[in-house]
Amino acid sequence: MTTAGVPPDHFAFPAVLKAAAGLRDLEAGGQLHAAVVKLGYDAWPATVANTLITMYARCGDLGSALKVFDRILEHDQVSWNSTIAALCMFEEWDSALDLFRWMLNEGVDPSSFTLVSVVLACSSLSWQDGLTLGKQVHAYGLRTGLYCEPKTFTNNSLMAMYAKLGRVRDSSVLFERFDNRDIVTWNTMISSLTQNSQFEEALVLLQRMVQSGVKPDGVTLSSVLPACSHLERFELGKEIHAYALRNDGLFENSFVGSALVDMYCNCGQVRPGRQVFDSITGRRLGLWNAMIAGYTQNELDEEALLLFVDMEVDAGLVPNATTIASILPACVRSNSFPRKEDIHGYVVKRGFDSDKYVQNALMDMYARVQKVDISEKIFKSMEERDIVSWNTMIVGYVLNECYNDAFNLFGEMQRTGEASMAESDSYMFTSNKPNCITLITVLPACATLVALAKGREIHAYAIRHLLASDVAVGSALVDMYAKCGCLSMSRKVFDQMIKRNVITWNVLIMAYGMHGEGEEALQLFRDMATRGKREDGVKPNEVTFISLFAACSHSGMVNEGLELFDRIKSDHSVEPTPDHYACVVDLLGRAGRLAEAYELICSMEPGQHQSGAWSSLLGACRLHQNVQLGEIAANHLFQLEPDVASHHVLLSNIYASAGRWGQAMEVRKNMKEMGVKKEPGCSWIEVGDEVHQFMVGDLLHPKNEQIQSYLEKLWEKMRKEGYVPDTSCVLHNVDDDEKEMLLCGHSEKLAIAFGILNTPPGSIIRVAKNLRMCNDCHTATKLISNIVGREIIVRDVRRFHHFKNGFCSCRDYW
């Protein structure tokens, strides 16, 4: 046109500027702008200038777009709309809202397009500000009639805004009141439900959508597939996959492909996920990220790392923050990266060290390599923390046994963001208030420390914030109460749960077993099998039988346990694993049937991992002082797991109990030379708001003198009751007086004495110990419970002991 000598006018320039914007060709756009100025058209107030604003914005040059806007002499409605949209494109939300206010002050009436951009800006602000301004914009639109017109796109924008701000109920109301729905309306509502964890509702809406005659597209499928993942609706996910294959173009949609890969991997079906990945041509970064994340989630770390290398080297793609956050857990677990700090250097080099999601992954990495102090530094340095940041830091503290730090951070988390929950009807919104993940992270810490008071506080919090109905939280509460010695409360929480999964049943079965209630555990198993056929379809799995064998073992129900083992495959279609063999060996060994236990191990297939079974046999040999069989078990374990301290300690104890001190000392000497260290005895007791820890022979507690003085008085009363210290529990070759002194320093005795001194008379004393309770402490605690008239509950590494009136619930069988 220009070569022919025909000068472009104000109709031609907008057309070619739109073409430059579509191609994201800033250089061509700049040349066109120069031609506009040269021909004097830049003084025009309307079409050309407005198109220039859009062109610069889409080509990534916001500054030039704003300069064009400033040079316009008279802004029309399109000028304002184009500039507000440009600011939103660059996520300059506050500036977009300021420009909207300026527009109103100038007396220019907004259009529906204006409000769509403004609503997007509101939805991207902090919850409180965004919701307040969003409501005002909604009200303005209703007053001016802009939201009264049957315009689908305005209604869709409002639905998206309310959902993003956690008000999914308001989105649903708008959806139901709106008759003129298009595919975007349905997709917006389905996506809103999924993003707010209302997965059942999302699937129901999909069904309504299909029944109304609207055909799902790629956005629909990518929005609804996460619901299939979370609800474990694997079959429905496969149906959606089939639908995508039948409808041309849907399967090749990168978002659908990524969602399918994610669905398969979340359901533990990594191979079909990889098949989807391999079958898609022209893979985009999102699809690579989904496959890498799938491998990582399923702990296929080598595969994840190899795919990451392929992505960079073969596909030539540059990783983004999501890629790095996905690959970091694989790097932590992989032996290919002995120096984990090197990965942090790679992150810094790539410029992702200030990304929130990468920072969360780095915090998790350092916590898992026992460098929680670095995790803490990253957490404190973060400019913006999301709920994952808080949860990751709490998990890090728990993993490193910094339980008080975990509780303190949980309390701080509760105190922050209170206002953000004032009006939100969706707890899964971006509030930093503790959510289900937080609770199932911190409740096991309460269980570990027998911190019942803290556990009850968390239970109350869960009820107040409607989190107790979550099946994972309910299961964690059942476990917490059971491990704090409150079996009746554990059962009460279980009975009140509307929905239970196999984990819930397993937790309670294990709880009954740990408390020596073998018959109750078996009855619960029968109920599980019956109701599974009739109601929720929950079937026993491998863990169920581990729990049952443990229950039979702690209750002396040998025949019942063996009968279960014989029927595990034929009646329940569960293939016996090495862990099952180890449990049955423990069952036989605890009952003194060591020869049968040895024969069972010998019957295992050569390829099976036998360390658990040999370890169970070694523990039984220690219990029944069988030196010959103990040596056989220990020698096998030294070959399979030479660095595990408990194997060496048990053999040493077997020798010491038999008076073979030379051999016992030789084992200890070998341990020292190999750098293998024995775990010291440790006990915990909760008093008031604090959990107190006692190590064996602990003299550092602030009230140590008071504890020692009380133990001496208690010792005298116990001797009058016939107590004779069991010095065979001291595995050192010293004289009897020194042995008695060592027995006094056992950690559970210190914790019990502290509890008696610092809790109200008549209250229950709850103590947790990291090792098996010795015979002397068991005998002493029976006497103490009778002398002080208190119930004392001790949870050791194996089971619970309820001491009352001079008796123990285990009936001396543990």
What ranges in 660-703 are assigned the alpha helix state H?
661-674
Long-range pairs, 723-728, Cβ under 8 A, ≥24 = 723/779, 723/780, 723/783, 725/776, 726/774, 726/775, 726/776, 726/779, 727/776, 728/657, 728/775
Asked if the structure places residue 590 within a domain, the reply is yes
Distance from chain centroid for Cα 67 = 48
Q: Tell me how many domains the chain contains.
A: 2
Asked if the structure places residue 367 within a domain, the reply is no
CA-CA-CA-CA dihedral for 152, 154, 156, 157, to nearest 10: 160
Give the type of residue at 285. Answer: L
Asked if the structure places residue 386 within a domain, the reply is no
Asked if the structure places residue 373 within a domain, the reply is no
Helix-helix angle 502-514:542-555, to 10 degrees: 10
CA 746, 750, 753, 755 dihedral sign is negative
- Only one residue has tokens 């399923």, namely 298
CATH number at residue 582: 1.25.40
Distance CA 695, CA 12 (A): 84
**Cβ-contact 649, 637 below 8 angstroms:** no
Write the pLDDT tens digit of every residue in 196-227. 889 999 999 999 999 999 999 999 999 999 99
Q: What pLDDT does 270 receive? A: 94
Write the pLDDT tens digit of every residue in 287-310. 999 999 999 999 999 999 999 999
Looking at 678, 705, 734, the residue that finishes a domain is 678
Looking at 678, 703, 738, the residue that finishes a domain is 678
Distance CA 27, CA 206 (A): 45
Q: Are residue 804 and residue 720 in the same domain, yes or no?
A: yes
- Only one residue has tokens 């639109």, namely 141
Distance CA 620, CA 133 (A): 69
Write the pLDDT tens digit of every residue in 403-445. 989 999 999 998 875 544 444 444 334 457 899 999 999 999 9
Long-range pairs, 401-406, Cβ under 8 A, ≥24 = 402/372, 403/445, 403/448, 403/449, 403/451, 403/691, 404/690, 404/691, 406/441, 406/442, 406/445
Q: Are residue 739 and residue 639 in the same domain, yes or no?
A: no
Q: Are residue 652 and residue 736 in the same domain, yes or no?
A: no
Q: What pLDDT does 428 receive? A: 38
**Cβ-contact 759, 678 below 8 angstroms:** no
Q: Are residue 605 and residue 674 in the same domain, yes or no?
A: yes
Q: What pLDDT does 661 receive? A: 85
CA 225, 231, 232, 233 dihedral sign is negative
Q: Which of 700, 664, 706, 655 lies closest to 682, judged by CA?
A: 700
Q: Are residue 768 and residue 726 in the same domain, yes or no?
A: yes
Q: Are residue 669 and residue 764 in the same domain, yes or no?
A: no
Asked if the structure places residue 603 within a domain, the reply is yes
Max Cα separation, the chain? 120
Asked if the structure places residue 488 within a domain, the reply is no
Q: Are residue 725 and residue 787 in the same domain, yes or no?
A: yes
Q: What pLDDT does 427 receive? A: 39
- Only one residue has tokens 């449990």, namely 583
Residue 588 pLDDT greater than 60, yes or no: yes
Q: How much is the mean pLDDT over the chain?
A: 89
Residue 641 pLDDT greater than 50, yes or no: yes
Q: What pLDDT does 420 receive? A: 45
Give percent of the chain with pLDDT exceeding 90: 64
Beta-bridged to residue 765, according to DSSP, are 792
Overall average pLDDT of the 607-636 stretch: 91
Asked if the structure places residue 119 within a domain, the reply is no
Q: What pLDDT does 418 receive? A: 53
By mean pLDDT, which of 152-161, 335-344, 462-471, 717-726 is the weakest? 335-344
Q: Name the pairing type of β-strands 800-804 and 792-795.
A: antiparallel
Give the type of residue at 758. Answer: N
Range of the domain at 759: 685-808
Q: What pLDDT does 430 receive? A: 44
Q: What pLDDT does 196 receive? A: 87
Beta-bridged to residue 769, according to DSSP, are 683
Asked if the structure places residue 464 within a domain, the reply is no
Residue 150 pLDDT greater than 90, yes or no: no
Looking at 661, 678, 695, the residue that finishes a domain is 678
Distance CA 50, CA 336 (A): 56
By mean pLDDT, which of 161-170, 230-239, 737-746 is the weakest? 737-746
HEC sequence for 352-377: CCCCHHHHHHHHHHHHHCCCHHHHHH
**Cβ-contact 697, 742 below 8 angstroms:** yes
Q: Name the pairing type of β-strands 765-769 and 690-695.
A: unpaired
Residue 149 pLDDT greater than 90, yes or no: no
Residue 533 pLDDT greater than 60, yes or no: no
What DSSP string runs through 409-456? HHHHHHHTTGGGGSS-S-TTSS--S--HHHHHHHHHHHHHHT-HHHHH
Q: What pLDDT does 415 receive? A: 85
Q: What pLDDT does 325 receive? A: 92
What ranges in 280-340 are assigned the alpha helix state H?
285-297, 301-313, 321-333
| pLDDT band at 708; cut points 50, 70, 90 | very high
Write the pLDDT tens digit of every residue in 66-109. 999 998 888 899 999 999 999 999 999 999 999 999 999 999 99
Q: Are residue 705 and residue 764 in the same domain, yes or no?
A: yes
Q: What pLDDT does 276 receive? A: 92
Distance CA 398, CA 404 (A): 9
In terms of Cβ atoms closer than 10 Å to its own Cβ (0-12, 13-18, 19+), residue 307 is buried
Q: Are residue 700 and residue 651 in the same domain, yes or no?
A: no
Write the pLDDT tens digit of every residue in 262-274. 999 998 899 999 9
Q: Are residue 706 and residue 792 in the same domain, yes or no?
A: yes
Q: Are residue 668 and residue 771 in the same domain, yes or no?
A: no
List the structure tokens of 550: 């443990």
Q: What pLDDT does 776 receive? A: 87
- Cα distances from 467 to residues 94, 339, 433, in angstroms, run 34, 40, 12
Q: Which of 266, 323, 331, 277 lies closest to 302, judged by CA?
A: 331
| pLDDT band at 737; cut points 50, 70, 90 | low
Q: What pLDDT does 732 receive? A: 57
| pLDDT band at 690; cut points 50, 70, 90 | confident
Give CA angle at 781 (778, 783), nearest 5°. Answer: 115
Write the pLDDT tens digit of every residue in 13-69. 999 999 999 999 999 999 999 988 888 766 654 788 899 999 999 999 999 999 999
Q: What pLDDT does 45 receive? A: 46
Overall average pLDDT of the 680-691 stretch: 89
Overall average pLDDT of the 331-347 stretch: 83
Residue 360 pLDDT greater than 90, yes or no: yes
Write the pLDDT tens digit of every residue in 382-393. 988 889 999 999
Q: Are residue 630 and residue 702 in the same domain, yes or no?
A: no
Distance CA 544, CA 533 (A): 16
